[in-house]
Structure 1
Amino acid sequence: MNAPDTAVKYRAPALDKGLDILELLAAQPAGMTRGEIVRALDRGPSEIYRMIERLVARGYVGRSVEGDRYALTIKLFQLGSAFPPLRRLVAQAQPLMDLFAQDTGQSVHLVTPDLGQSYVVAQASSSSPWEFRLRLGAELDLFTTGSGQTLLAFMTPAQLEHTLNMRGGAEREIPSPLATALEEIRLAGYRMAPSQQLVGVSDISVPVATGGQDIVGVLTCPFLPLVGAKGSSVETQLADCLSALQNTANRIALI
């Protein structure tokens, strides 16, 4: 059963209202008034009021001192961070990612798949004054990003089928040009190509697997050439960075 079919068959209106509020507030750094939430969700004031009060009581939403604005608390972050498989993976990866960033002068982030998309769950900042990095929690499309394509390339058939089913619609099938690119990534063992989102950035992505089979994530370095760096040429810097990233991924998989 895939996600769209499930959404149609099983409905829980009260739960949907609560989730709508949480998702709305997640995009509002300054919070919102109750009236703004009512207008944005196009629902009745009384039903929104009751749901907000329950979310406040359970600690998912906080009320401003003045009492007229509502914003998310840190509780959702705490729940996500407490999820055992993710907590273990990040705990294993973070010190090794920090070491990679220190040694190479490049930033790096760890991406894991979930519900037909992929998400940044850890990142390490470059020791250089200049870097490009993604924020924690950033959602990355599987079809159009280096991290996403690398995840797809190294998924087992069962993982791939489940992931595509979660996407739904026309995206349950991989387009032919992308299928060719995924095969090239599998054969190479990594993906290294210009970023599809930013000019001047080269994405280097390598898989992180457990037991040599199931991919659990991808390490991606958004590579920026460093003027005056050891190794002189950009090609040499890229090769050295790829080697260091592969070594980091292998060490994470062995822990």
Structure 2
Amino acid sequence: MNEGHDADRYRAPALDKGLDILELLASVDGALTQAEIAKALGRTPNENYRMLERLVRRGYVARNESDRYELTLRLFGLAHLHRPIRRLVSQATPLMRDLAARTLQSNHLAVYDQAGVIVIAQIDAPGYWGMAIRVGAKVSLFNTGSGHILMAFRSAEERAMMIAEHESAPDDEPPDDLEERLAQARLRGYEIMPSMQTAGVYNLSAPILGPDGHALAALTCPYISPLGRKAPDIAEAIAMIVEAASVLSRTLGGQAEPEEAYGAHAG
């Protein structure tokens, strides 16, 4: 049985009509008349009338005094019921605690959100020393391991958008060799770089990948070389971080490791 036949077999025309209307209204600024909606979707106004009325009654669409239709915030509210960030932190926390115990270093989780890299979870080192970053802190996109990972494992279009959004921040300008650094991080499957904020610290970062292979988040350890203590060296710590990121990616339904990564993780 071919795929086209399967697609026809499981069609739900009424659902398709409703989703088409919602997607159309989400793609335009302002409100549309019933005739404008029909023209954009290639249907007659009567074909959409009942569906529009149901969407209005269920609160997904509003009709204003000019008989124009626009989206309400109901879809926004539904999206926030899912709480993706809360789920990500919940799934990551046990792995991050185990990582801190094994590396004897602190680690944190960061995401890209509205032109910023935001720390959403932080686990302290198990000993009396370590480097911690406050949850909610906004860190550099261009000069941190987390920022590099979040850019490296996105599409070229997304990366260009992220860079463009930071053009208004003159104190956070991209280095001249940024693209080369990101390409190296993609090939390795992780980032390792001296901290641009604190001497003696190395940023070790690995991507949390979604089903499309793009970075959902970055798992980062601000590695401090131990003196006089038996602790994992930097190569061993990298391997542990990459392993933890891979496990978390699988837990969230994403790819276990970047497609372009090669070689030993601790090489």
- Normalising by structure 2, report the TM-score: 0.59
Determine if contact 2:110/2:119 at 8 Å carries over to the other structure: yes
The whole-number CA distance in structure 2 between the counterparts of 1:215 and 1:167 is 19
Q: 1:137-176 alignment to 2 at 5 Å?
A: 137-169=136-168, 176=176
Q: 1:93-112 alignment to 2 at 5 Å?
A: 93-112=92-111
The whole-number CA distance in structure 1 between the counterparts of 2:121 and 2:179 is 28
The whole-number CA distance in structure 2 between the counterparts of 1:82 and 1:133 is 30
The whole-number CA distance in structure 2 between the counterparts of 1:174 and 1:109 is 23
Give, in angstroms, the shift of residue 175 of structure 1.
5.5
- Change over 3 Å in CA distance of 1:167–1:252 after alignment to 2: same
Give, in angstroms, the shift of residue 186 of structure 1.
1.3
Q: Could you tell me which amino acid in structure 1 is paired with residue 249 of structure 2?
A: A
Structure with the largest fraction of helix: 1
Query: What do the CA deviations read for 1:91-120 (whole angstroms, capped 9, x no partner)?
Result: 110110011001111000001001121010
- Change over 3 Å in CA distance of 1:166–1:244 after alignment to 2: same
Give, in angstroms, the shift of residue 164 of structure 1.
2.9
Q: 1:160-199 alignment to 2 at 5 Å?
A: 160-169=159-168, 176-199=176-199
The whole-number CA distance in structure 2 between the counterparts of 1:202 and 1:175 is 18
Give, in angstroms, the shift of residue 218 of structure 1.
0.5
Per the alignment, residue 39 of structure 1 pairs with none
Per the alignment, residue 214 of structure 1 pairs with 214
Larger CA Rg, structure 1 vs 2:
2
- Change over 3 Å in CA distance of 1:200–1:155 after alignment to 2: same
* Structure 1 segments unaligned to the other structure (5+ residues): 1-8, 11-80
Give, in angstroms, the shift of residue 151 of structure 1.
1.2
The alignment status of 1:228 with 2:228, answered yes or no, reads: yes
From 226, 232, 248, the counterpart of 1:252? 248
The whole-number CA distance in structure 2 between the counterparts of 1:156 and 1:94 is 28
Q: Could you tell me which amino acid in structure 2 is paired with residue 250 of structure 1?
A: S
Per the alignment, residue 52 of structure 1 pairs with none
- Change over 3 Å in CA distance of 1:228–1:175 after alignment to 2: closer
Which SS does the other structure have where 1:218 is aligned?
strand
Number of matched residues?
172
RMSD over aligned CA atoms reads 2.6
- Change over 3 Å in CA distance of 1:82–1:145 after alignment to 2: farther
The whole-number CA distance in structure 1 between the counterparts of 2:97 and 2:190 is 21
Q: Percent of aligned pairs with the same residue?
A: 33
- Change over 3 Å in CA distance of 1:175–1:100 after alignment to 2: closer
Determine if contact 2:194/2:203 at 8 Å carries over to the other structure: yes
Per the alignment, residue 49 of structure 1 pairs with none
The whole-number CA distance in structure 2 between the counterparts of 1:178 and 1:132 is 25
- Change over 3 Å in CA distance of 1:162–1:86 after alignment to 2: same
Query: What do the CA deviations read for 1:67-112 (whole angstroms, capped 9, x no partner)?
Result: xxxxxxxxxxxxxx97711011111101100110011110000010
Q: Could you tell me which amino acid in structure 1 is paired with residue 242 of structure 2?
A: Q
* Structure 2 segments unaligned to the other structure (5+ residues): 1-28, 31-79, 252-267
The whole-number CA distance in structure 2 between the counterparts of 1:194 and 1:164 is 21
Determine if contact 1:112/1:121 at 8 Å carries over to the other structure: yes
